Structure 1
Amino acid sequence: MIKILNVLNKQNIICAIIIILLFGIDRLSKIKILNNFSENNSFYINDYLNIDLIWNTGIGFGLFNLNAGLIYHSVTIFIFLIILFILYLMVNSPNKEKLYYSTLVGGAFGNFYDRSTYFAVPDFIDLHINNFHWFTFNIADIFITIGVLLLIFNETLKKENDKK
């Protein structure tokens, strides 16, 4: 009983709200794109940014594109287990780190939802310089990247402080 109450503390509830908010922002962006763009129909915004809907069946940044089969479902289950592990880390972390984990999890849930619902993730942000195009990505990927970068930065600061 006490363990359950520890999980339901104010900081974890705030983290749950952040996760839901980021998941919602990601869903709204994808709904807007899916309702207004067809696959491989690029919309020019400026010399560095296009909106270009593609369906990613792989993992981050289109790596390891997989068809919906045993391997795809195995990878999806593995991703879900990783999300659960990150949630465990979040619940058991100091307050500042909880926020970083929630940012990561909010994005991860967004992409996991798409993998489970559409068997692919809609990516649509196409950054480029001239003919060099970065991997197409989505809002959830931005949240995941921000969360990971904050965690790395935090660990780096911890190590610097430990040296002093």
Structure 2
Amino acid sequence: MIIKNLTKNFYINLFIIFSIFIIDRITKIYVVSVNSKNSYEDLYSSKFLNIHLIWNEGIAFGLFSFNSNNLYNLLTLIISIIVIIILKMIISSYGIKKYGLMMIFGGALGNLFDRIFYKAVPDFIDFHIGEFHWFVFNVADIFITIGVIIMIIFESILNGQKKNEHI
């Protein structure tokens, strides 16, 4: 019975991670294909949101872009190691923490895929207020951010409970 539940949970977890990866891939494939036809014009533009493609060769949100292949390869290796560590954490986690880690893993897997196959990550969501533009990001980044927020909340609640136990 325990093995049956573990197998069921494994497939549910795999489905969630794979769904995040597929949603990310579909949005990126769409934006890249439309942009190749429209020569990098805004696909959508409004008061607060623009959809336009940029290729991110750096880390999160375009930070630390690299022109060197050695630095790029090192970054890709580090991200790969982090993805493996997160996978191990998922296996040993439970409850809401597991879902946060799965969101981080699914998003990281999507961005790692792009980094390996395209040597850059397509970002296209640009929120702005007037002339102030936040970083351009993608769907994988949204899942990673939500996962990190879940982890922070989970750890805060857990730490609060531990403090109350010591009082």
Q: TM-score, normalised by structure 2?
A: 0.89
The aligned counterpart of 2:162 is 162
1:27 and 2:25 matched: yes
**1:122-158 C-alpha deviation (Å, 9 max, x unpaired):** 0000110110000000000000000011000000011
Q: If each structure's helix is expressed as a fraction of its own residues, which one has the higher value? A: 2
1:68 deviates by 5.5
1:88 and 2:88 matched: yes
1:110 and 2:110 matched: yes
Q: Is the 8 A contact 1:11 1:95 kept in 2?
A: no
Report the aligned-residue RMSD. 1.7
1:43 and 2:43 matched: yes
1:18 and 2:16 matched: yes
Following TM superposition, where does structure 1 have runs of at least 4 consecutive aligned residues deviating by more than 4 angstroms?
none
Q: Unpaired segments of 5 or more residues in structure 2?
A: none
1:40 deviates by 4.3
Partner Cα distance (1:112, 1:68) in 2: 18
Query: Matches of residues 85-164 of structure 1 in structure 2 within 5 Å?
Result: 85-164=85-164
The one-letter amino acid of 2:130's match is N
1:95 deviates by 3.1
Q: Is the 8 A contact 2:25 2:110 kept in 1?
A: yes
The one-letter amino acid of 1:79's match is I
The one-letter amino acid of 1:155's match is E
Q: Greater CA deviation, 67-76 or 142-151? A: 67-76
**1:23-65 C-alpha deviation (Å, 9 max, x unpaired):** 0000000011011114642234320000110000000010110
**1:98-142 C-alpha deviation (Å, 9 max, x unpaired):** 111111100000000000010000000011011000000000000
Q: Unpaired segments of 5 or more residues in structure 1?
A: none
| Secondary structure class of the residue paired with 2:96 | helix
The aligned counterpart of 2:79 is 79
Q: Is the 8 A contact 2:96 2:154 kept in 1?
A: no
| Secondary structure class of the residue paired with 1:37 | helix
Partner Cα distance (1:25, 1:43) in 2: 19
Partner Cα distance (1:15, 1:101) in 2: 10
Instruction: Quickly say closer, same or farther: Cα 1:135–1:40, change in 2 above 3 A.
Output: farther
Q: Is the 8 A contact 2:35 2:53 kept in 1?
A: yes
Number of paired residues? 159
